[in-house]
Amino acid sequence: MTFKPSKQEVVKEIVKCGKEPQFFIDNYCRISHPLRGLIPFKTFDYQKDLLKDFNDYRFNIILKARQLGISTISAGYIVWFMLFHRDKNILVVATKFQTAANLVKKVKAIMKHLPDWIKIAKIITDNKTSFELSNGSQIKAGTTSGDAGRSEALSLLVIDEAAHVDGLTELWTGLYPTLSTGGRCIALSTPNGVGNWFHKTYVDAETGENDFHPINLPWDVHPERDQTWFVKETKNMSRRQIAQELECNFNTSGDTVVHPDDMQWLFENLKDPVYRTGYDRNFWIWEKYIEGGPYLLVADVARGDGTDYSVFHVIRLDNMTVVAEYQGKPNLDFYANILYDAGKEYGNCLLVVENNGIGISILEKLITLNYPKLYYSMKSTHEYVEAYIAENNDRSIPGFTTSTKTRPLIVAKLEEYIRNKLITLHSNRLFHEMKTFIWHNGKPQAMRSYNDDLVMSLAIACWVRDTALSENQKDIEYKRAMLNSVVKTTTTMNTQIKGQEGYTQTFNQKHEDEFKKMKDFFWIYKG
């Protein structure tokens, strides 16, 4: 409004602005445009809806695409909140202190560019990262660590880029009591994978399990954006970047070890198990044992502190399908018996147990039970070694050792199998672990407070399949080819001599039996 209002008009406008934040922002707030300079703040429909939500709900959580002006409309709301309400205490936190300080700076800039007659409260204290009005309302940027805001009652807490704030779970635990006297909260962010505070809080809000009001704002809520804009904008963006920056997609955003496209492919193959069995019904089976089929069982043993699980996978080796899976918390002796029974059920298949920590106790129990096919490896090289060789080699050890050397190798092998679609899995439990299995400081690991037991078990399986068993298969094929050449040569020679038919038949039958044994019991011919 460019005219100079009368006293009556001033009172009327101030009263209306105090009641309607949208009216106040659209008519009297100005913002800095990178090209056009200082311009009037004209809200879009989705921003108008946000202002209404800010008023109607104490807690709002906003899942947003980038460059929608959500921080700016939040800044406009804060100006209105401070100017027309006395003694309001506002704290802004973000992934970086400077990000929080920038939002405070944006609030201050809008406040300073208001018409003088509407400034019913003046800035009396002005610092770089905080300021205070004459009506007692104040705002400051805070850190995500330390005691910022924890010793004072907050009227409004703003968490900018919430999905990217480290330690936000602990921060929220500390700050939530400061909102107990009627304080409000606005948490806004682009997605950053799953498992963090922002993701869990948003998902719970959607199902009504907390006090937050969920708001989803993908790229196309902006009236000036269409498909042409999207194609141009995403031309040089990865699938993960598109999901994170524009589509508001938790599952395909974030720095997961498995690529978002591959996560989608895995998701499409998920299905419920055919059987849920075992004492705790946690032994899931998608496919029963097929006579003569090649199988591999790989197990990971819980640390014993009650925070993780003992797990195993049964893999059908000819098509690399996970046919069975277990996840539970049995005691050590019971778990050894479960492994023994599962291995026997799937044809006495090769049983690989991670030997870290108390895993060695499980292996000792399995040795006592005389399980017929346990995996052995060399202590220094972690190379697979046959059981009969291991018995006479003091450098060998039962099981597979996960170390700083082997962990990146097995994870890389798992990623390779999934990327090339060489493995089929159906488990929701396993899929959810993969969603929280991320790169952290260059290392593959589960997000804080999440587990990766199933992921690591499958990673070991892929590694064993592609190293020990592939070399073993090559040896089998070599022996098969050698025997075949012997049979072919001898048959050709002997069938030319009269009176030798009986001998030739006996010879052929002998090797046919040999071939049948090799096919049905190929572990006999392991070299």
pLDDT tens column, 287-325: 999 998 999 999 999 876 677 899 999 999 999 999 999
Same domain for 282 and 372, yes or no, is: yes
In tens, the pLDDT along 136-186 reads 999 999 877 655 556 678 999 999 999 988 888 888 988 899 998 899 999
Same domain for 66 and 197, yes or no, is: yes
91: left (phi over 0), alpha (psi -120 to 50) or beta: beta
The pLDDT mean for the chain works out to 85
Q: How many domains, in total, are found in the chain?
A: 3
CATH number at residue 364: 3.30.420.240
Quick check: is 473 in a domain?
no
Same domain for 217 and 311, yes or no, is: no
What's the whole-number mean pLDDT along residues 264-288?
93
344 vs 408, more confident: 344
* Residues of the domain holding 268: 261-466
The structure tokens listed for 121 are 């409260």
Q: What is the CA radius of gyration of the chain?
A: 33
Q: What is the largest CA-CA distance in the chain?
A: 130
- 3-state helix, strand and coil shares in percent for the chain, rounded to the nearest 5: 45, 20, 35
Quick check: is 341 in a domain?
yes
pLDDT given for residue 494 in this prediction: 44
Same domain for 117 and 183, yes or no, is: yes
In tens, the pLDDT along 96-133 reads 899 999 999 999 999 999 999 999 999 999 998 999 99
Of the three residues 225, 246, 278, the one that is the final residue of a domain is 225
Burial of 205 (0-12, 13-18, 19+ CB in 10 A): buried
DSSP of 281-345: S-EEESS---TT--EEEEEE---SSSSS-EEEEEEETTTTEEEEEEEE---HHHHHHHHHHHHHH
pLDDT given for residue 516 in this prediction: 53
CA 171 to CA 506: how far, in whole Å? 81
Reported pTM? 0.61
How many alpha carbons lie under 13 Å from residue 449 in its C-beta half-sphere?
Answer: 9
Same domain for 33 and 159, yes or no, is: yes
Q: pLDDT-based confidence at 238, cuts 50/70/90?
A: confident
pLDDT at 432 over 80: yes
pLDDT given for residue 426 in this prediction: 96
CA 88 to CA 76: how far, in whole Å? 15
Same domain for 341 and 296, yes or no, is: yes
Quick check: is 249 in a domain?
no
Quick check: is 399 in a domain?
yes
Same domain for 334 and 308, yes or no, is: yes
pLDDT given for residue 34 in this prediction: 73
DSSP 8-state symbol, 245: I
CB 311 within 8 A of CB 284: no
CB 438 within 8 A of CB 256: yes
Between vectors from CA 317 to CA 312 and to CA 323, what angle results, nearest 5°? 45
Quick check: is 252 in a domain?
no
* Closest by Cα among 414, 430, 457 to 269: 430
CA 326 to CA 72: how far, in whole Å? 49
CATH number at residue 37: 3.40.50.300
The H or E element spanning position 19 is helix 7-19
What's the whole-number mean pLDDT along residues 34-48?
88
What's the whole-number mean pLDDT along residues 497-508?
44
CB 219 within 8 A of CB 246: yes
* Closest by Cα among 271, 245, 240, 242 to 256: 240
Same domain for 217 and 345, yes or no, is: no
In tens, the pLDDT along 334-347 reads 999 999 999 999 99
Between vectors from CA 485 to CA 484 and to CA 490, what angle results, nearest 5°? 100
CA 313 to CA 300: how far, in whole Å? 9
Same domain for 312 and 347, yes or no, is: yes
Same domain for 195 and 286, yes or no, is: no
Quick check: is 235 in a domain?
no
The structure tokens listed for 428 are 């929701």
Quick check: is 332 in a domain?
yes
CB 48 within 8 A of CB 22: yes
The H or E element spanning position 214 is strand 212-217
Of the three residues 207, 225, 243, the one that is the final residue of a domain is 225
Quick check: is 255 in a domain?
no
pLDDT at 69 over 90: yes
Of the three residues 225, 241, 269, the one that is the final residue of a domain is 225
The H or E element spanning position 54 is helix 45-56
Same domain for 484 and 394, yes or no, is: no
Q: pLDDT-based confidence at 513, cuts 50/70/90?
A: low
302: left (phi over 0), alpha (psi -120 to 50) or beta: beta
Same domain for 190 and 62, yes or no, is: yes
pLDDT given for residue 329 in this prediction: 92
CB 300 within 8 A of CB 288: no
